[in-house]
């Protein structure tokens, strides 16, 4: 496949939400974890062939900040929504007190204003984004009942994978959202082109948790990829790296990974520390069908996709793969062309919902998040920005 830089496609109309961003100027000028000013490149490092990458983990919150800035109002009385700095793990935390004492932080922030805009609606019009629930547990005061109406958007809802009943009980108003993909050019998931490769593989075989045999599965899949040969399976060695954007050599691996996804019909997506791999989003946005091995992976990002993942991905049960009753590569070779094309059409129709796009949109990851935050207000709560 020849890699080009197509024009970015805008989708939908601009959102009507007006967003007040707490400590905006400090957040905007703060360097993110990639070491570059967010104001210069809020979506991350540029990858010329694919657009601009948003790294996995905490740095996806930077893309959310950039999109919120497009709809920012400096007048809180005109705001319909309020973006709170991440209490942990995002924008490099503009102020640690948002974690340690959020109640005092809100009080101090509004002390010289005639209205405390947090108390006005009890935080129902407030939201923040963090990488994963495991980051937020460092800030136990957010568990309190006084913050129950604040929407907490998590890139990974760890309880789905780790089992943490206490956290599930005390957290309220939690949304699981896509936490950053590297591809922003829609032609990579909408345009049809030859895919000479059956399978692309890009994951480490060590360095992650192994609470549901995912590392055993990864080792097995890598062996099977080697056996299948490079005409059927292309492996991108990640050399133990967790993120592929912080150095030039890592970004080269990212480009290699995306190129492999662009050449392949399928990509293998076994869980890492949890099932919500950024690589699933990268695969989908390259038009490559992800092969999932854990049933819970089909419950990912249902806010954004509904049940579309059922038509965008292929399920091969981890138990059958590990016990040898299911041969991954033979199974993939036998998938009917009609089914492959159906999944590719579903990807083309839905991949944009996982992308924090460069344009205002009602229908990308950010637009869907905003609708969910506003739509989750308790019944009877006045949505008017000037309501008392």
Range with the lowest mean pLDDT among 51-55, 121-125, 354-358?
A: 51-55
Q: What is the pLDDT of residue 162?
A: 58
Average pLDDT over residues 140-153: 88
**Domain ranges in the chain with CATH number 3.40.50:** 189-353
Residue pair 185/5 in contact (Cβ under 8 Å)? The answer is: yes
Helices of type H across the chain: 24-29, 60-70, 97-100, 102-109, 117-120, 133-136, 159-162, 165-170, 187-190, 214-228, 248-263, 278-285, 302-305, 309-312, 318-322, 328-333, 337-350, 365-375
Average pLDDT over residues 203-229: 89
**CATH number of the domain at 189-353, please?**
3.40.50
State the Cα–Cα distance between residues 369 and 346, nearest whole angstrom. Answer: 21
Q: Which helix (H) or strand (E) holds 19?
A: strand 19-21
In this prediction the pTM is: 0.87
Residue 280 has pLDDT above 80, yes or no: yes
Residue 301 has pLDDT above 60, yes or no: yes
Average pLDDT over residues 160-184: 70
Range with the lowest mean pLDDT among 276-280, 311-315, 332-336?
A: 276-280
Residue pair 253/241 in contact (Cβ under 8 Å)? The answer is: yes
Residue 104 has pLDDT above 70, yes or no: yes
Own/partner pairs, 297-304, CB within 8 angstroms, 24+ separation:
297/269, 297/271, 299/160, 300/176, 300/275, 300/276, 301/176, 301/177, 301/178, 301/353, 301/354, 302/176, 303/175, 303/176, 303/177, 303/368, 303/369, 303/372, 304/177, 304/178, 304/353, 304/354, 304/365, 304/368
Confidence of residue 57 (pLDDT cuts 50, 70, 90): low
State the Cα–Cα distance between residues 130 and 153, nearest whole angstrom. Answer: 6
Dump the DSSP string for 183-201.
---THHHHS-----EEEEE
Q: What phi, psi does 210 have (nearest 5°)? A: -135, 45
């Amino acid at each position: 496949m020849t890699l080009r830089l197509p024009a970015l496609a805008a989708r939908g109309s601009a959102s009507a939400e007006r967003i007040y961003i707490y400590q905006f100027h400090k957040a905007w000028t703060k360097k993110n974890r990639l070491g570059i000013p967010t104001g210069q490149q809020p979506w991350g490092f540029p990858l010329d062939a694919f657009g601009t990458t948003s790294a996995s983990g905490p740095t996806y919150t930077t893309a959310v900040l950039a999109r919120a800035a497009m709809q920012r109002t400096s007048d809180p009385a005109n705001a319909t929504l309020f973006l709170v700095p991440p209490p942990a793990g995002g924008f490099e935390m503009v102020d640690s007190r948002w974690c340690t004492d959020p109640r005092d932080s809100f009080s101090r922030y509004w002390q010289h204003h005639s209205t405390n805009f947090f108390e006005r609606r009890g935080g129902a019009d407030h939201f923040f984004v963090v990488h994963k629930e495991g980051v937020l547990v460092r800030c136990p005061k957010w568990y309190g009942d006084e913050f129950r109406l604040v929407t907490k958007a998590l890139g990974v809802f760890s309880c789905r994978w780790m089992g943490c009943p206490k956290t599930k009980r005390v957290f309220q108003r939690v949304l699981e959202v896509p936490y950053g993909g590297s591809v922003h050019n829609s032609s990579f998931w909408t345009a049809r082109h030859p895919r000479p490769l059956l399978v692309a593989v890009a994951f480490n075989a060590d360095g992650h948790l192994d609470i549901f045999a995912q590392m055993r599965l990864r080792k097995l899949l890598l062996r099977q990829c080697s056996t299948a040969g490079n005409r059927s399976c292309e492996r991108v060695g990640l050399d133990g790296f967790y993120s592929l954007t912080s150095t030039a050599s890592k970004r080269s691996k990212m480009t290699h990974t995306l190129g492999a996804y662009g050449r392949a019909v399928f990509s293998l997506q076994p869980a890492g520390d949890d099932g919500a791999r950024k690589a699933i989003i990268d695969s989908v946005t390259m038009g490559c069908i992800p092969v999932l091995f854990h049933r819970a992976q089909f419950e990912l990002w249902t806010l954004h996709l509904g049940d579309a993942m059922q038509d965008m991905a292929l399920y091969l049960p981890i138990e059958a793969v590990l016990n040898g009753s299911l041969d991954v590569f033979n199974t993939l070779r036998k998938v009917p062309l009609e089914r492959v094309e159906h999944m590719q059409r579903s990807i083309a129709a839905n991949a944009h919902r996982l992308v924090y796009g460069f344009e205002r949109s009602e229908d990308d990851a950010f637009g869907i998040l905003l609708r969910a935050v506003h739509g989750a207000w308790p019944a009877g709560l006045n949505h008017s920005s000037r309501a008392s």
